[in-house]
Amino acid sequence: MTSQGNNLDRWYGHYADRTAGLSASEVRALFAVASRPEVVSLAGGMPYVSAIPSDLITGSMERVMRDSGPAALQYGSGQGVPALREHILDVMAMEGIRANVDDVVVTTGSQHALELVTKLFINPGDVVLAEGPSYVTAMVVFRSFQAQVEHVEMDDLGLVPEALRQRIAALKADGKRIKFLYTIPTFSNPAGVTLSWERRLEILEIARSNDILVLEDNPYGLLYFDGPPPQAMRSVEEDGVVYLGTFSKTLAPGFRVGWALAPHAIREKLILANEAAVLSPSSFTQMIISDYLSQADWRGQIGTFRDVYRERRDAMLHALEDYLPDLSWTKPAGGFYVWLTLPENLDSKSMLPRAVRELVAYTPGTAFYADGSGRNKMRLAFCYPQPDFIREGIRRLSTVINGELELLTTFSQTAPLRVDRRQKNAINPPANLG
């Protein structure tokens, strides 16, 4: 008689197979620790919402309830409030996108749009191509639908076209079915790098010639520091790109309002999937954002965010130069994140408990790979802490890293590995990701 073991969940044997792909992300697991006031959190990508004057939001709330209260509190369209969709066209126009209001589908945050697109396209075993590293919760979504995630190499100019060609050819030779390429081309999460314009055009051509849909996720595109980034991929390709946008980074994540811009046929299925999931996105939050965009200087407010995050980016880069000069990291021109490379003999995941004891938190690199790669990487978020806390956090982190190196040196009696400073801006993907 074989033992079946014990499980506290009575319904453990009843779940669908796809639930095996559901797991708490390493980012979410950090929030409980990182929220302690004595911990400097460089882990979560939380926007600095305190930069928004509160009267702008309360004013919009009051006007919506005064002028349109019954409609705001009622069910709405599965596609979203038309007035907000008109404003979304204005937002996307800042990145070169020209579209029809009918092609916009409002969702409960862009994360919801990502899940809906994945639900529409992925059967168990289908392949999703993604940058290596890639957005942690996207990996959770893809795994929950039993997709096979295949990473493609990046460098300091973003996704490498030749690596993409080679990966597609190898997968096709193995008889795999590739459903879409998921990419965050502008100020990527977690690497912070931006895909060059030339590469955007080349990657679109690769996708077009191989009949692969491109899923362009763009939360950070308007948060540039040193000048506007290249225009969105969707600005030059309508039929082959589904574009995901959100107000979480340029306004506030608490509203949970995002959108998808999709080709006509895909749009129709997105609306049906949206209705099946939530009936309709919140009319109340949509109407508040629509009023805000009508009444406030929202472009100026985005400029304020840029100034805030630029100062914090600079504080992190300067602290890294001062406290960890022998390591390498990316230098983002916008967004929220720096991608740090440790010596090969360090493991950022196993090092995290020691970091928490030193009252600093980060996200281990393994969170951003479906195959467990990235052990000597970590994501550092500069968006939320004040500049002086960022500097103190990097100082604490240097204590942890140097302590780990000294410990390894003591037991191995070998000099710790050093990173070539000439590679300061490289992503340095693992060798098996090309």
89 burial (CB, 10 Å; 0-12 / 13-18 / 19+) is middle
CB 316 within 8 A of CB 327: no
Same domain, 27 and 65: no
* Pairing mode, strands 178-183 and 213-217: parallel
Confidence of residue 23 (pLDDT cuts 50, 70, 90): low
Position 411 confidence tier, pLDDT thresholds 50, 70, 90: confident
Same domain assignment for residues 90 and 182? yes
- The residue out of 258, 273, 295 marking a domain boundary is 295
The reported pTM is 0.89
- Same domain (yes/no): 126, 272: yes
pLDDT of residue 418: 46
Residue 323 within a domain: yes
Same domain for 129 and 259: yes
Question: Do 47 and 159 lie in a common domain?
Answer: no
pLDDT in tens, 302-343: 999 999 999 999 999 999 999 999 999 999 999 999 999 999
Q: Is residue 2 part of a domain?
A: no
Res 167 pLDDT > 60: yes
Q: How far apart are CA 160 and CA 196, in angstroms?
A: 10
For residue 94, give its domain range: 54-295
> In this structure, are 198 and 271 located in the same domain?
yes
CATH number of the domain within which 392 lies: 3.90.1150.10
Per the domain annotation, does 353 fall within a domain?
yes
User: Are 84 and 189 within one domain?
Assistant: yes
Q: Are residues 127 and 239 in the same domain?
A: yes
Handedness of CA 178, 179, 184, 189 (dihedral sign): negative
Angle value at C-alpha 305, between 95 and 230, nearest 5 degrees? 25
> Nearest CA to 216 among 138, 301, 315?
138
**Spacing of C-alpha 302 from chain mean position:** 19
Q: Would you say residue 41 lies in a domain?
A: yes
- Residue 222 shares a structural domain with residue 288: yes
CB 218, CB 184: distance < 8 Å: yes
Whole-angstrom Cα distance, residue 244 to residue 234? 10
CATH number, domain of 275, equals 3.40.640.10
CA separation for the pair 85, 106 (Å, rounded): 7
Q: Are residues 286 and 343 in the same domain?
A: no
The most distant pair of C-alpha atoms in the chain lies apart, rounded to whole Å, by: 73
Q: Do residues 316 and 241 share a domain?
A: no
pLDDT of residue 17: 78
